[in-house]
Structure formats: structure tokens, C-alpha cells
């Protein structure tokens, strides 16, 4: 199975999950509050704030050609209106680090976490949220010189579903089971996305959607999927690309999302082991937003058994290739995640191609990392 020329093969991470000590963010406050719903705090994470050159070296040495990371709003604007030149300089160095290594940077502006001040003033439902996100985006644009791909908001559909609870964090469970978002949250996120895209004129910008592969009787499925997913795809029909993020599937019945079947094979997050997810998500995205290029910005598996990661990803790439053969315009595949990083409440579900020792942050590439690197170098899956 050959992939197109200039196909992006990469790995992904996000600031809060990898950098450590994101102290001005809403999630840091929640993780460290007495009533924290999480079993572990992010703490130092993988210390990528200091070790990012090592991370980039790994990506390059494995044979991958792209790296997705996020800029942290809480670091760039720790207090409303105060933009930290030092934080912007940090992210500029990562962009330059990618370019110097021949890696295509895929930059996300918001990956679940927000500055605490933003959250305390109403978050996405607060007044002026879109203008605040626009101002932050405007401050980041100058450091994006040489960056082609920019994701505005990561999984706005999940953010919308969570926005009446906490701002950010999947916190376990299958996202597709969550109650439908308030329309006001969806509208606010859509407005923020559009404002950011205006600031990003000249770049390829889009948002990345948590695709749940809703299945079941068409009418029930469509009614369940529209507020949780499909309206976010419909809002992206004029975007430069759509980011597809898919891990599993959710079956919808008369009473909504059904729990994962008792006898189903599961991953460490409790999700059904379902390699066809990404191919099906790509098909669904292409049907909802015909002609819009697709970038797989996340796909992977939480497992302690690395052979299972290779098994899952082989199936995922075969399904992706099939969807592309049928006509889907897919520009790249970014595996989630590069590192065993903070999984929104715990370090236990390990999604990484590379393990990180929790005491000294030492990185060790797993066999799956080398395997994916070989697929990338060959631009072909055997």
C-alpha cells in the first residue's frame, strides 16, 4: 500500500501533556485543588519544556517528517493582555527546531487548556471569548513564520460537551457518551475558530474534530451525532483542512450511546479496540465536508503491550489507505502520541511511541516507533 508523495508522517503531543508546570492554566488549578477529580496531577509532565530538542531529534531519527505540538495560551498570556515575549520565544525556537531538522511543524493554538483568568471569567461561555482568542492568535502569528499547518482549537466538540463542567480534559470514559453541548458553547467556539482563522490568513488553518464513529440505525445515529460532531464538520466546509482524530467507535441505540459491549476487546482507556476507526472517520469527514483536505492529526492506542500498538496501527493505516483509494484527500497521518504523556488525570494510559521514565524523564523509543518510522521512510505499508 503506497502513500502519496509528500505525505506527512508524524507524531503528536500537546503542551499541557508534555511540557510540565503549566501553572497559569485552568487545568493546573483543577489538578491541584483539594477536590480534584483526577488521580494524578500533570506536575513536570515529560519536561518537554526543556527537553523539546531531544523530542525533535527522536522524531527525525525515527524517520518521521512531521511533528504536531501546541502553543500554550496560559504561558503566552498568563494575565489578560500581558503577552510574554519569553514564552513566544520558546515556541519560536521549537518551530525553528522543526524546520532545521526537516520536520513539518503542525501547530495547535489551543489543546484543551486555557489560562486560568479566562476560565474564571466564564471561559468559552464568557463575554468576548472569541475576541480574547483572536488577540492571543494575533500575538502568536509572528512566531509562525515558516509554518504551513495551524490547528486553531483541538476537539472543539469535546470542549463544547465539557464546557458546562470543566474547561478541558477528557477525564476518562468515551467522549461520545457525553451529553450534547449547549448550543451557546458550540457557537462561541465556532466564533473563536473563525476569528483565529482570519488572523491566520495565508496559512492552512482548520480545527481538529474528535471523531467518535457513531454507528447504529441511521436516524438515531444522525440525531445523536449532529450536536456532538457533525455540526462541527459542517462548520468547517470552508476551512483549509479538517483534522481527523479517531480512536474507537460508539454505537447509538434508542437511549443514546451504548456502553462498550462486555465481551469487546478494550484498551487501557476502556475504549473498544477498533483499528478501522480512523478510515471510517476519514470517510465520514469527507462525506460531511466534501473536497476539504484532511489531515489525520491523532490516532493511536493506550496499551502497555507495544506489539498491540503495532497491530492496531497496522489495521488503522490499512483502513486509512482504503479510504484514500476510494477518493478521500488525506495529506498526512500524525500518530498520537510521540511520548507516554499526561493523559488528562493520569499517566497510566500509555499512548506513546516512546516511553518516558517518570523519575528522570529518560526517553526510550519502543519497537512501534521504529516500525512507524520504517513505514514513513518507505512511504508504504506492507
Q: What is the DSSP string of 309-360?
A: HHHHHHHHHHHHHHHHHTT--EEEEEEE-SB----SS-S-S---SEEE-TTT
Q: Minimal distance in Å, beta carbon 247 to ligand BGC?
A: 7
Q: Minimal distance in Å, beta carbon 312 to ligand BGC?
A: 13
The alpha-carbon radius of gyration of the chain (Å, integer) is 19
The reply to whether 298 sits near ligand BGC by the rule CB under 6 A is: yes
Choose between 45 and 252: whose C-beta lies nearer to ligand BGC: 45
Among 42, 154, 186, 190, binds ligand BGC (CB under 6 A): 154
How many other β-carbons are positioned within 10 Å of the β-carbon of residue 120?
12
Q: If you ran DSSP here, which 8-state letter would residue 79 be given? A: B
In the three-class reduction of DSSP (H, G, I as helix; E, B as strand; rest coil), residue 58 is classed as helix
Choose between 139 and 162: whose C-beta lies nearer to ligand BGC: 162
Q: Minimal distance in Å, beta carbon 278 to ligand BGC?
A: 13
CB 124 within 8 A of CB 192: yes
Choose between 70 and 137: whose C-beta lies nearer to ligand BGC: 70
Choose between 3 and 241: whose C-beta lies nearer to ligand BGC: 241
The reply to whether 24 sits near ligand BGC by the rule CB under 6 A is: no
Q: Among residues 349, 260, 262, 348, which one has the least CA distance to residue 301? A: 349
Q: Minimal distance in Å, beta carbon 347 to ligand BGC?
A: 11
CB 37 within 8 A of CB 345: yes
- Print the binding letters for residues 196-235 with ligand BGC: x by CB under 6 A, - otherwise: --------------x-------------------------
Q: Among residues 100, 96, 124, which one has the least CA distance to residue 112? A: 124
Q: Minimal distance in Å, beta carbon 359 to ligand BGC?
A: 22
Choose between 92 and 111: whose C-beta lies nearer to ligand BGC: 111
Q: Minimal distance in Å, beta carbon 349 to ligand BGC?
A: 7
The reply to whether 152 sits near ligand BGC by the rule CB under 6 A is: no
- Please report, for residues 58, 105, 147, 359, the alpha-carbon distance to residue 91 in angstroms, rounded to integers and kept in the order given: 18, 11, 12, 25
Q: Taking CB positions, which residue lies at the least distance from ligand BGC?
A: 170
Q: Among residues 341, 21, 203, which one has the least CA distance to residue 31? A: 21
The reply to whether 170 sits near ligand BGC by the rule CB under 6 A is: yes
Beta strands 354-356 and 363-365: pairing type? antiparallel
Give the footprint of ligand BGC on this chain (CB under 6 A): 14, 17, 154-155, 170, 210, 245, 298, 336, 343, 351
Amino acid at each position: 500500500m503506497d502513500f502519496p508523495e509528500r505525505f506527512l508522517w508524524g507524531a503528536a503531543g500537546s503542551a499541557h501533556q508534555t511540557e510540565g508546570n503549566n501553572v497559569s492554566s485552568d487545568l493546573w488549578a483543577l489538578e491541584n485543588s483539594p477536590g480534584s477529580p483526577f488521580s494524578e496531577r500533570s506536575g513536570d509532565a515529560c519536561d518537554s519544556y526543556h527537553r523539546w530538542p531531544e523530542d525533535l531529534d527522536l522524531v527525525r531519527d525515527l524517520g518521521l517528517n512531521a511533528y504536531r505540538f501546541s502553543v500554550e495560551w496560559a504561558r503566552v498570556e498568563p494575565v489578560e493582555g500581558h503577552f510574554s515575549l519569553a514564552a513566544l520565544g520558546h515556541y519560536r525556537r521549537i518551530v525553528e527546531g522543526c524546520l532545521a531538522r526537516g520536520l513539518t511543524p503542525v501547530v495547535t493554538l489551543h489543546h484543551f487548556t486555557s489560562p486560568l483568568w479566562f476560565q474564571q471569567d466564564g471561559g468559552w461561555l464568557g463575554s468576548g471569548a472569541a475576541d480574547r482568542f483572536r488577540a492571543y492568535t494575533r500575538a502568536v502569528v509572528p512566531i509562525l513564520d515558516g509554518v504551513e499547518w495551524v490547528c486553531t482549537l483541538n476537539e472543539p466538540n469535546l470542549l463544547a460537551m465539557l464546557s458546562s463542567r470543566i474547561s478541558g480534559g477528557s477525564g476518562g470514559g468515551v467522549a461520545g457518551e457525553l451529553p450534547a453541548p449547549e448550543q451557546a458553547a458550540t457557537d462561541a467556539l465556532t466564533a473563536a475558530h473563525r476569528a483565529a482563522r482570519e488572523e491566520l490568513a495565508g496559512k492552512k488553518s482548520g480545527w481538529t474534530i474528535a471523531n467518535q464513529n457513531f454507528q447504529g440505525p441511521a436516524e438515531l445515529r444522525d440525531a445523536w451525532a449532529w450536536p456532538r460532531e457533525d455540526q462541527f464538520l459542517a462548520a468547517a466546509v470552508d476551512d483549509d483542512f479538517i483534522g481527523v482524530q479517531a480512536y474507537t467507535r460508539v454505537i447509538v441505540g434508542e437511549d443514546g450511546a451504548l456502553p462498550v459491549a462486555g465481551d469487546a476487546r478494550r484498551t487501557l482507556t476502556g475504549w473498544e479496540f477498533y483499528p478501522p476507526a480512523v478510515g471510517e472517520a476519514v470517510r465520514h469527514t469527507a462525506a460531511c465536508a466534501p473536497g476539504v483536505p484532511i489531515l489525520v492529526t491523532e490516532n493511536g492506542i493506550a496499551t502497555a503491550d507495544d506489539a498491540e500498538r503495532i497491530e492496531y496501527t497496522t489495521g488503522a493505516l490499512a483502513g486509512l489507505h482504503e479510504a484514500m483509494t476510494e477518493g478521500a484527500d488525506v495529506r498526512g497521518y500524525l500518530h498520537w502520541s510521540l511520548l507516554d504523556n499526561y493523559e488528562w488525570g493520569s499517566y497510566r494510559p500509555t499512548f506513546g511511541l516512546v516511553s518516558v521514565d517518570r523519575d528522570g524523564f529518560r526517553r526510550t523509543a519502543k519497537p512501534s516507533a521504529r516500525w512507524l518510522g520504517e513505514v514513513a521512510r518507505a512511504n508504504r505499508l506492507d
